[in-house]
Structure 1
Amino acid sequence: MIRAFLNQLDQPFTGEALFDHLPDIVYFIKDAQGAYLVVNSTLQQRCGLQHKSQLLGRTPCEVFRAPLGNRFQEQDQRVLATGKPLLSQLELHVYPSRAVGWCLTTKLPLTNQDGEIVGLVGVSQDLQLPDYETDEYQHVATAIQYAEEHLSEPPSIPELAAQARMSRYQFDRRIRRVFGLNASQWLLKLRIDQAQQQLHETDDPISAIAVDVGYADQSAFTRQFRRTTGMTPQDYRRTGKQKS
């Protein structure tokens, strides 16, 4: 029934016009090589481009500088090769226009009538700042402060739930309402945010920053930082100095 309906439309429905009206969401469709076929205005603008056509037919490595473009392309190739979706991946995006922000990224494979993977569709939705005046925030404020003060030995989610005098389930649900993230994602973001700040504002060794935000060694910290931001801590520090 859906296919019959879509076949009646004058133009193939891609969702582009709809997502053009959602400025907090980056939207795209890519082909089997990972090149952009459809993009919304948000992606175009954040790339600092005048027209969407400047993105079409190009892969992330051709749009974003290394190593960020490599990370996006590696994600695409995994989805295209395995058919396994990427769901609600917490990421920090640094766009060519120098816009920076946290988002949740989802990518799904697209198949033809024979079940062959021919491309992918994806969205990255911006995280919104929490409203610190709400009752929801106040219920978890003690746990948030405790986490911020103990990042060098990051507390477990059950410990934080105990600080908030909630069950783990209740704490996770509250954190989702306040931050739009599950509790584990929120704690990861807190640690990476602190690391970013130190990388930009201090000349502390990366090994010392790793310990400050709760990693056993620099190698583990670098892996997690790169997975989340697309850059090594050293690359991120260098980028920050170039901006200033």
Structure 2
Amino acid sequence: MEISLDLRTYSNEIHSHKHDFHQLVLPMQGSLQMSVDAREGEASLQQVAVIKAGAEHGFSAQGENRFVVADVPEFLAPQLAQLPAYIGVDEALGHFIQFVASRLQSNQGAGIKDAAGERQMLLLLLQLLQERQGIEARADKRIQSACAIIEQDYALSESVEGLAKQVHLSPRQFTELFRRQTGLSVKQYIIERRMQQAWLLLHTSSDPIQAIAASVGYVDQGAFSHRFKAQFGKTPSQVRQSHL
């Protein structure tokens, strides 16, 4: 199955089931009373619900409600298995959920299914959820430091050797540990994070595309557009136009 992001409403009837994919239930309006593996709680404006693959869960709603629901194949996001069933919503997470909801509403209104955009929104959402639960703190501190160096300035071109030296590892040790921790090579991680940042800036800022390209390390706008399209299936101009 593919990643799916949808806007859903629920009835007041009690339902119970399980499925072989992870699911996130993110609040927009109202609340959903839930039981996830016998843990009682709710998805509301104050907290999101995380349903792990295979978890038995029951749910029912009261009154008007609307949620962003993400269905995520287990193999694409194993880190979801580390999250608790319910996570509090702070201001930053709440704003991002509203941003995701607005993009889904806009796409639905235009009859568009933006699979690449949904994937990036989900990746950013997972990052926010992990940060709030301190999962990054349980990662190897040296790899965490390397990721922080990369994300301090996406325009910098750090070599594997340079990053390894800064975190006191040999290049071989660093590349092996980095892949184990992130599931990506250093180069893949840098490209992924640069493209995520570019995608976010195209949606949330009015900066010229050339400036966005430069901010994520691309002097040549043509090379940036080529990489962006390879990642998302659309050029930066097409993404910017769809956001206007």
- What TM-score bracket applies, with the shorter chain setting the length? 0.3 to 0.5
Length-normalised TM-score, structure 2: 0.47
Length-normalised TM-score, structure 1: 0.47
